[in-house]
Amino acid sequence: MSGCHDCVLASRDDTRAITVALVGPPNSGKSTLFNRLTGLRQRVANYPGVTVEQRRGRLRLGARGDVELLDLPGTYTLQPRSDDERITDDVLRGRLPGTPRPDAILLVLDSTNLARHLVLAAPVLALGLPTLVVLNLSDDLERRGGSLDAAALAQQLGAPVVPASAATGRGIETIHEFLAGRFAVPARIPLPTIQNIPACRMWAGRLASRSTYRAPAPPLWTRRLDGVFLHPVAGPLLLLAVVLGVFQAMFSAAAPLSDGLETLVGAIGGWAAAFLPAGVARDVVVQGAVAGVGSVIVFLPQIAVLFLFIGILEDSGYLARAALIADRTMARIGLQGKSFIPLLSAYACAVPAILATRTIESKRDRLATILVAPFMTCAARLPVYALIIAAFLPNTPLLGPIFGVRAAALLGLYVLGFLAAVGTARLLRSTILRGDRTPFLLELPPYRWPTLRSLGLRVVDRSRVFLTRAGTVILGVTVGIWLLCHLPLVDGKAPDLSHSVAGTIGRTIEPAIRPLGFDWKIGVGLVTSLAAREVIVGTLGTIHGIDGDAGSSGLQRALRHDLTPGGAVALLVFFAFAMQCLSTIAIVRRETGGWRYPLLQFGYMLTLAYGAALLAKVLVG
């Protein structure tokens, strides 16, 4: 390649899709810009074998063609130390199989923090790819009294520069023009040795001052708000209020939506039942597919509400403060501040919690958080707990009218799950995730108003990941389990559940679960609840020929007949610990890039569940 910087590298007439990579440090607003440019035309996947997220999106430039945008993980330098940085480096050098080398780069820098962010310009420009330097948050810079000569900077960098704001859309037209135009390689400029960070920083500082960069005043409102949110007394109390608020919203605001979805699923089932001719096919669709996927989809409103709140917390800058306040406590159990919100989310559902661990940069800490998250008492455990507790415990008041024996038992189960998570985190830290701890580093970005656009995209994106799961893995599994319960056919009809494949499995595992006080019926429930924990309630209902409902007194009577009190406690403990959730297994596989961790986690949780249930049975009798 020649040094000429006017040569056209990629022509618009070319039918090949142009790939452009977005590169920038964390907190530069890179992802906001990506969202602004691509809208809903984006796909999220993982790079093979690692936990690094690959975000691609298509930008339509009308008659000027399409551009494939690649949002690379945030990085301060191109020195490949973490998986994220290695991926960024490999993609930019065209060394990652399956990902084409980008034709051009959008280098996104925070203009309120220009000198520090310009450090990344050195290694990026050294790649020799056509580059547009996007000075993001330029409205913020001006509002806070900063300024900069973009033309002077462009001349020194030998590459075009545009002041922009991803939040308001400023500068987007220039970015479109760059993407639609003829790409030119940057002019050769003297660059510092990129391994020497202080030298790069001095180079960046010189460039900034030659571009008459005036740094903005420190964000005054951020100081004031931190005085409140990080106050020694008020800070933790406000965090508690935020946490309670999120929980309240998740369980109360999402409840009517969940009920609505349940009615809708019921209506679809009814419609399908009326439409299809009676027979096995209809039963598979109505009782298997619709009912099975329906039981998972009712969690969608909770997940959407949760991600709306996480979005508000993250985009506003509060999430970093929450992580800061929680860090001291989390450090005691071998985790860190950024694990706090994901673990909190796990009280609703482990699936969004595991997706939320993407905010944790340290791979080790992220893995530890993913591995302990399913111990938190998720919403799917509640119907199971409610049924068993109602069947075996009287509702005697303990402290006032609300807090009775049953509430105490439920609280005890929450504590049990929490303690298991703490113990497991410590165990992981002293075994497979041992090693030198990388220092905890947390940047506190200025507070900003979240934009509706970004919040909406986030909710849609996360809901889509969840629905894809529900629509593929869960669909297959629920249909599979339904078939196990209804095969082999006897005289063309489904057999009695006890003689079905599932019943046979229940009888086969009965010797193994007998020490826990479980009979084959519970065994069938354990198998079917692999799809989702609450499925055991419906299964037990089917086995006993009773409408499966946690409030059903018939089912409670049947359970009292089948289980001793010791067996009931064992069943509760088993559900507290076991990883009875294929959605979680699927998401862990996806997020850790292989079967190793989900299998390890499943085995560990099952062993722990079995051991603890056995202990409970022996102790209680």
Q: Which residues bind another protein (CB under 8 A)?
A: 76-77, 79, 81, 112-113, 115-116, 119, 197-198, 201, 215, 218, 222, 226, 230-233, 235-236, 324-325, 327-328, 331, 337, 436, 438-444
The Cβ of residue 174 has, within 10 Å, a number of other Cβ atoms equal to 16
Residue closer to another protein by CB (options 325, 582) is 325
> Least distance in Å: CB of 154 to another protein?
21
Smaller CB separation from another protein, 338 or 521:
338
Q: Give the Cα-Cα-Cα angle 438, 440, 446 (nearest 5 degrees).
A: 145
Our CB check for another protein shows the closer of 113 and 583 to be 113
Q: Which is nearer to another protein, 248 or 329 (CB)?
A: 329
State the minimum distance, in angstroms, from the CB of residue 334 to another protein.
Answer: 13
In the complex with another protein, the residue whose CB is nearer, 43 or 328, is: 328
- Minimum gap (Å) between residue 572 Cβ and another protein: 35
Token digits for 612? 């603890």
Q: How far is the CB of 201 from another protein (least distance, A)?
A: 6
Among residues 356, 293, 427, the alpha carbon closest in space to that of 591 is found at 356
Angstrom distance (rounded) from CA 174 to CA 162 = 7
Rounded to an integer, what distance in angstroms lies between the CA atom of residue 592 and that of residue 370?
9
Q: Report the alpha-carbon distance of residue 121 to residue 81 in Å, rounded.
A: 18
- Residue 71 bridge partners (DSSP): 22, 55
Task: Give the nearest distance from C-beta 370 to another protein in angstroms.
Answer: 22
In whole angstroms, the minimum distance from the beta carbon of 320 to another protein comes to 8
| H/E stretch holding 324 | helix 318-332
Q: Note whether 183 and 8 are within 8 A (CB).
A: yes
Nearest distance from C-beta of residue 135 to another protein, angstroms: 14
- Residue 40 vs 234, nearer CB to another protein: 234
Q: Using the 8-state DSSP alphabet, how is residue 341 labeled?
A: H
Q: Which residues contact 462 (CB under 8 A, 6 or more apart)?
A: 303, 304, 307, 352, 355
Residues 521 and 354: their CA atoms lie apart, in Å, by: 32
Closer by beta carbon to another protein, 200 or else 289: 200
Cβ closest to another protein, residue 175 vs residue 215? 215
CB of 446 to another protein, least distance (A): 8
Q: Are 385 and 575 in contact (CB under 8 A)?
A: yes
State both tokens at 577: 């610990």
Q: Which of 93, 101, 167, 165 is nearest to 134 (CA)?
A: 165
Nearer to another protein, 334 or 352 (CB): 334
Q: Which is nearer to another protein, 446 or 567 (CB)?
A: 446
Q: How many CB atoms within 10 Å of residue 451?
A: 16
Q: Measured from the CB of residue 441, what is the shortest distance to another protein in angstroms?
A: 6
Shortest Å, Cβ 217 to another protein = 11
Task: Report in angstroms how near the CB of residue 29 gets to another protein at its nearest.
Answer: 14
CB-nearer residue toward another protein: 194 or 540? 194
Cβ-count burial 575-613 (b if 16+ within 10 Å, e if not): bbbbbbbbbbbbbbbbbbbeeebbeebbebbeebbbebb
- Which lies closer to another protein via its Cβ, residue 153 or residue 531? 153
> Which lies closer to another protein via its Cβ, residue 195 or residue 607?
195
Nearest of 177, 7, 21, 186 to residue 104 by alpha carbon? 21
Q: How far is the CB of 223 from another protein (least distance, A)?
A: 8
Q: Which is nearer to another protein, 331 or 393 (CB)?
A: 331
Closest distance to another protein from the beta carbon of 203 (Å): 12
Q: Which residue has the tokens 């692999």?
A: 530
Amino acid at 297: I
Per the CB < 8 A criterion, the answer to whether 514 and 617 are in contact is: no
Phi and psi dihedrals of 533, rounded to 5? -55, -45
Q: Which amino acid is at 34?
A: F
CA nearest neighbour of 174 among 106, 231, 113: 106
Distance CA 56, CA 44 (A): 7
Amino acid at 168: T
Shortest distance in whole angstroms from residue 435 CB to another protein: 12
Return the DSSP state at 376: S
Pairing relation of β-strands 18-23 and 104-110?
parallel
Q: CB-wise, 65 or 205, nearer to another protein?
A: 205
Task: Return the axis-axis angle of helices 475-486 and 535-544, rounded to nearest 10°.
Answer: 20
Assign residue 47 a region: left if phi > 0, alpha if psi is -120 to 50, beta otherwise? beta
Q: Is residue 192 helix, strand or coil? A: coil
The residues near 170 (Cβ < 8 Å, ≥ 6 apart) are 138, 139, 163, 164
Report, in Å, the least distance between residue 92 CB and another protein: 17
Strand, coil or helix: 271? helix
Query: Do residues 328 and 336 lie in contact, with contact meaning Cβ atoms separated by under 8 Å?
Result: no
